[in-house]
Amino acid sequence: MIIKNLDDEYLVGKMVGGTNEYRLYICQKKDEEKQCLLQIAADASCNGALDRSAFILKLLKIKAREIEEEYAQVKKDPKNMLNYDLGFPNLTEIFICKKQGNRKINILSFKNIDDVTKIVPILNITKKDKLRADLRSSAWIMGKLLKLLVFIHSEGFSVELINGNNILIEPDKHYIMIFDWSKAKTHTIVPTEIKRREISQMAQAIIQLLGGNHKTNTIPDDGEEAYTSYTQKILQLAHGAESKAERAHRNFYNLIDQLWKREYYPFTTKPLNQ
């Protein structure tokens, strides 16, 4: 199928996901190799959700660029980047498609990712693949999520939709992102309880990725020396022990530096029932 918007044509492939408000399809702009996601409203009554998501994504991109430019003035190593824009999709186009029942369409791309099939919700790892992440893999995922939350909350945003379905991973590149921003809110100052809840929800998603259950305080034990210290920290966060993402991020890495070396570690999984 081909969907057109003015002079642009998109070759639409298979459906790869969706919610009650939208459907997701792999697509490619004509004459380009890079894949994108075509997000189309489930029906015209759902156009507002895509409008809201587009509005937030535009603001996030502006804020991320401004902070990166400020950081460029003070960083010592020119290669260092904050890369907050890796934590959310890039909105490349938004339009109404009359031939699709006047439904809103958002075209979403991802920085440095040409094959969108490599991006998956972390919930798929346990629910579909029947695998679980090991402790060290979950640690770098949680660290990146907390870093993203520092940016989000400090700029006056709350996600309002943090769960394993809405946290995406590209494991080879170590990219972690929040996908759906249709429920996001803007604040002059993000309320403390919202901050606490979103930190907690991130930790709960990580515990699920580990094959555990935050309600019963259980996480599989593979006999690693780091198990007790690390799982205690994750469970504390899951139960609302922290209300400031910046402090949570700092304290989390203070612990991680005691447990493991700072080095590249590939995303590693084990059978869920093992």
Render each residue's pLDDT in the chain as its tens digit; 274 residues.
899 887 889 999 999 999 999 999 999 998 888 999 999 999 999 999 999 999 999 999 999 999 999 999 998 888 899 999 999 999 999 999 999 999 999 999 999 999 999 999 999 999 999 999 999 999 999 999 999 999 999 999 999 999 999 999 999 999 999 999 999 999 999 999 999 999 999 999 999 999 999 999 999 999 999 999 999 999 999 999 999 999 999 999 999 999 999 899 999 999 998 7
Summary count for the chain: helices (H), strands (E)? 6, 13
Upper half-sphere CA count for residue 241 (Cβ side, 13 Å): 15
Give first-to-last CA distance, the chain, whole Å: 43
User: Could you tell me which of 247, 54, 57, 232 has the C-alpha nearest to residue 150?
Assistant: 247
| Claim: this prediction has a pTM higher than 0.85 | yes
Host H or E run for residue 178? strand 175-178
Give, in order, the Cα–Cα distances in Å from 253 to each of 77, 92, 222, 260: 21, 34, 22, 10
DSSP code of residue 225: T
Structure tokens at 220: 């599989």
Angle between helices 135-154 and 245-259 (to 10 degrees): 160
Cα separations in angstroms, 206 against 104, 138, 150, 167, 256:
33, 6, 17, 10, 15
Domain with CATH 3.30.200.20 in the chain: 2-117
Is CATH 1.10.510.10 what the domain over 119-271 is classified as, yes or no? yes
CATH of region 2-117: 3.30.200.20
φ/ψ of residue 208, rounded to 5: -65, -40
Q: How far is CA 220 from CA 14, 30, 170, 274, in A?
A: 36, 47, 24, 8
């972690």: which residue's tokens? 176
Query: CA-to-CA distance for 96 and 57, rounded, in angstroms?
Result: 18
Tell me the backbone φ, ψ of residue 145, rounded to 5 degrees: -65, -40
